[in-house]
Structure 1
Amino acid sequence: MKKKHVIILVIAAVVILIVAAVAVEQYYRYEICNFTSKDGEEHGYHVYPNTNLDSLLTTIRQDYEMGTETSFRWHSRHAQFRTPKEGYYLFPAKMGNKQLIRRLQMGEQTPVKLTFTQQIRTRAQLAGHLGKQLLLDSVSVKSRLDSAKYMAQYGLVPETAVCLFLPNTYEVYWTITPDQLFQRMYKEYNRFWNDTRRAKAAALGLTPAEVATIASIIASETNKAAEYPTIASIYLNRLRKGIPLQACPTVIYAVGDFSMRRVLKRHLETDSPYNTYKYRGLPPGPIRLARTSIIDAVLDAPKTDYLYMCANPDFSGTHVFSSSYTQHAATARRYQRELNKRNIRS
């Protein structure tokens, strides 16, 4: 009888140990680690709408070693997890089933970095850029940018719509909708265009969009930060005096060939409101996105008597500034000779 009792106790102990071992294993796989990065690094994944769990798991396993698939499947069934929510997810080098399942099931995304640069010139380029960076459809963005009614809620028109997108890097969710994105950028826009900056613009007799338009021309003229304030003073002086801006970057924008290196006489005849050789005042809107530092350079432009600028004939990337046309014409002739010498014809 004692022997039978001992056997029962042994069997019970073995069962308890097995159950305990299974429980510990399940706890470890669920809470601590069932996925280990093969290279010891974090890995991110874009989960598109209607992505099924099996295909996503296959993708994840290219970067992670899975402890046991059985535990993952069991925990997924227990959590009633079948379809991952779309989004961008950055996972740590080690994670348990709980973290993976919860985040994919609840849509607990990792924000992505959305960057706007001065390379964006047109509404179409802006929409295309957003379509590549985010899940949203570029066509839906473009339709909003082109809509006078839609842009009116932000105090802008289609021609000035790009003003809303200040060059910087922002954190947003990959699945952000077009309307959510516009609202987010409007908050950033108002944060930048605070009362102080708006007062400075008003003192110049300009709206924020007009200041951004001048800044966009400066951004196209030079990448030398030291020249921003002086160039800003030239355009402000010309506007006050009613002199056409005669800014070559606006002609290039009007022509639509951004590979142009030389503006020729025939280009100056392009009939477009963006051609500031043909039309006085500012063009209808910015000709590219401009850094906030350039916008500030316009707002804080120094008082000068300069009215003209010409690319430096030494091709240093700087400009020669003049207050008289005679001085300017002489510099321009030297620059034209250098262009010809270097065989730059278009």
Structure 2
Amino acid sequence: MPRRKKNNPKKKYWSVLLILLLLAAGYGGYFYYSRWLAPNISRAGKLYIPTGATYNQVLDSLKPFLKNRESFEWLARQKKYGARVKPGRYTLGLGESNSSVINRLRIGAQDEISIRIGNYASIFELAGKVGPFLETDSAGLVRAMTEAAFAKGYDTAALIFFYFPDTYHFHWNTSGQAFVDRMKQQFDQYWTEGRKQEAREHSMTPLEVTTLASIVQLESAKVDEQPRVAGLYLNRLKIGMKLDADPTVIFAMKKADGFQRKIHRVYYKNLAIESPYNTYKYKGLPPSPICMPNRSALEAVLHPAVHHFLYFVADPQRPGYHIYAATLKEQEKNAEQYREWLNRNNVQ
């Protein structure tokens, strides 16, 4: 009869211990994964954390995005997030983990927002366009622009002189003051001593260059034609001729109506509007820019095309361009053809 093997208590003990350790490791791994690495963002979106927000306010804002709030709070405690909440706009990706989100919030790695600033007619329009992208509102932006140290001595209408159209990158919590400082930096980078000297060579100040450039900008957005337009207006200024610029009349009409009006065509009756911006009534440049001109228009005024033209009218065959004339007789012929085109196409 074969002998029965004796049970080895030690072997049984180590087997049970190994199983327990494996179970503990498995649970620990699951615990770690569920709180650190598991997807916990249920939908993509933007998280806005206002300046001065508390940790509890952040949790309330996060609530609609979290599958498991408890696991987020646990890891936030482990990573000591909440002692210093950093404001900003943060993009949350579908399926992101707690660790990924908390790491960004801790270091304040917020979104960079691209804002395209166009050829606006006033700081009020500028503030109205930019305000929705930033934590500060349009009123705060206007206040910062009008209270800036460099704004002293300038009429409010002239303050667009300091702002350049371009695509800028801001953070959502950029303050009004920080916005103004950033824009003034661009202004100072452009208006070097060399460019100021170029302005003086035309007997103009930087403000006057910008004012004429704003007219050039609205007359033609075509970069290749802007130097020719600038040369024409400079020719008029040199001989004391009124600028007779339609964009200044349109500006005066819009200004009178609070810039709510859309104008596609200027009629003879409109040329009599009483306004210092009406260059059909008053010689010289308007009191201030009528829009924020692009750098190309500024460069066109500083480096104009040299020619003998004094008149021009829109070219219906090449939208955005013009037909030029040296004499009033030539201009009247070109203008009549343009009016006929407007009437045929029912442009009001």
Counterpart CA distance in 2 for 1:301 and 1:37 is 58
Quote the Cα distance in structure 1 between the aligned partners of 2:47 and 2:193.
Answer: 40
Q: Is the 8 A contact 1:130 1:136 kept in 2?
A: no
Counterpart of 1:128 in structure 2: which amino acid? Answer: G
Q: Which residue of 1 aligns with 2:4?
A: none
Alignment match, 2:294: 291
Residue of structure 1 equivalent to 2:134: 134
1:255 deviates by: 0.4
Counting only pairs closer than 5 Å after superposition, residues 138-287 of structure 1 correspond to structure 2 as 138-145=138-145, 147=146, 150=148, 152=150, 157-256=155-254, 258-287=261-290
Match of 2:306 among 303, 308, 311: 303
Offset at residue 315 of structure 1 (A):
6.3
- Residue in structure 1 matched with residue 122 of structure 2 by the alignment: 122
User: Percent identity over the alignment?
Assistant: 29
* Alpha-carbon displacement from aligned partner over 1:214-269 (angstroms, at most 9, x marks no partner): 22112211232221111000111112222111100110010006521211222212
Q: 3-state SS of the aligned residue for 1:88?
A: strand
Count of aligned residue pairs for this structure pair: 333
Deviating more after overlay: 176-185 vs 305-314: 305-314
Whether the 8 Å CA contact 1:224–1:317 is kept in 2: the answer is: yes
Partner SS state of residue 225, structure 1:
coil
Return closer, same or farther for 1:28/1:212 CA change in 2, 3 Å cut-off.
Answer: farther
Separation (CA, whole Å) in 2 of partners of 1:156 and 1:33 = 58
Alpha-carbon shift at residue 75 of structure 1 (Å): 0.7
The superposition leaves residues 77-112 of structure 1 with CA deviations (integer Å, 9 ceiling, x where unpaired) of 334545964311235676542331132244331211
Label 1:69 to 1:20 Cα distance change in 2 as closer, same or farther (>3 A).
farther
After superposition, the CA RMSD in angstroms is 3.0
Determine helix, strand or coil for the equivalent of 2:225.
helix
> Residue 154 of structure 1 contacts residue 186 of structure 1 at CA under 8 Å; is this kept in 2?
no
Partner Cα distance (1:162, 1:6) in 2: 86
Report the CA distance shift for 1:4/1:72 in structure 2 as closer, same or farther (over 3 A): farther
Shift of 1:192: 2.1
Aligned partner letter, 1:129: K
Whether contact under 8 Å (1:221, 1:249) holds in the other structure is yes
Q: Residue 63 of structure 2 contacts residue 69 of structure 2 at CA under 8 Å; is this kept in 1?
A: no
Do 1:47 and 1:85's aligned partners in 2 also have CA atoms closer than 8 Å? no
1:182 positional shift? 0.7
Question: For the Cα contact (< 8 Å) 2:151–2:159, is it kept in 1?
Answer: no
Shift of residue 139, structure 1, vs aligned partner? 0.6
Indicate how the Cα distance of structure 1 residues 205 and 329 shifts in structure 2: closer, same or farther if over 3 A, else same: same
Residues 31 and 200 (structure 1 numbering): CA distance in 2 closer, same or farther, change over 3 Å? farther
Question: Match of 1:123, as an amino acid?
Answer: I
When residues 69 and 239 of structure 1 are mapped into structure 2, their CA distance, relative to the original with a 3 A threshold, is: same
- List per-residue Cα deviations over 1:149-179 (Å, max 9, x = no partner): 5353588542232233211112121110011
CA distance in 1 between counterparts of 2:58 and 2:333 reads 70
- Superposed CA deviations along residues 165-204 of structure 1, whole A, max 9, x for unmatched, are 2111121211100111111111111122223322222211
Q: Encode CA deviations 1:301-321: one digit per residue, 9 max, x unaligned.
A: 122111111112546432111
Name the counterpart of 1:76. 76
Q: Residue type matched to 2:329 in 1?
A: T
Cα distance change of structure 1 residues 318 and 326 upon mapping to structure 2, 3 Å threshold: same
Counterpart among 336, 341, 346 of residue 344 in structure 2: 341
Contact 2:144 2:180 in 1 (8 A): no
Between structure 1 and structure 2, the one with the greater Rg is 2
Shifted more, 121-130 versus 157-166: the winner is 157-166
* Structure 2: stretches of 5+ with no match in the other structure: 1-6
Aligned to 2:18: 13
1:57 equivalenced with 2:46 (yes/no): no
Counterpart-to-counterpart distance in 1, 2:16 and 2:252: 88
TM-score, length basis structure 2: 0.83
